[in-house]
Structure 1
């Protein structure tokens, strides 16, 4: 079972799941991810959680880093 983090890109948008990549993430952290649309910034809405393989699309994309103001 993969360990995932739920990231949201729009205020009322659906959650997309990403691999936490050994980062210590808290709810409401802004993160930089590699999505199917390219590099994006989103907000963590679901912290690290194990889910069944059939509940996510594998392979998971990675969270690249925590976002900074730069």
Structure 2
């Protein structure tokens, strides 16, 4: 799954360590990050309850599990 190896700025568009890149680059990165989160969440939502149980998740935990792994 792609979400487990993504690097994140924790959703911050204006992080202090990003002075060397432009605002446009930060916005593009933010959108790409959101797309990857949506894809990961969608992939998990398409799994059966048994498959989710095998990896230690319930349907109610998917949203937070995807965001914590970033």
Q: TM-score, normalised by structure 1?
A: 0.25
- Give the number of the structure whose alpha-carbon radius of gyration is greater: 2
Give the structure with the larger helix fraction. 2
Higher strand share: 1
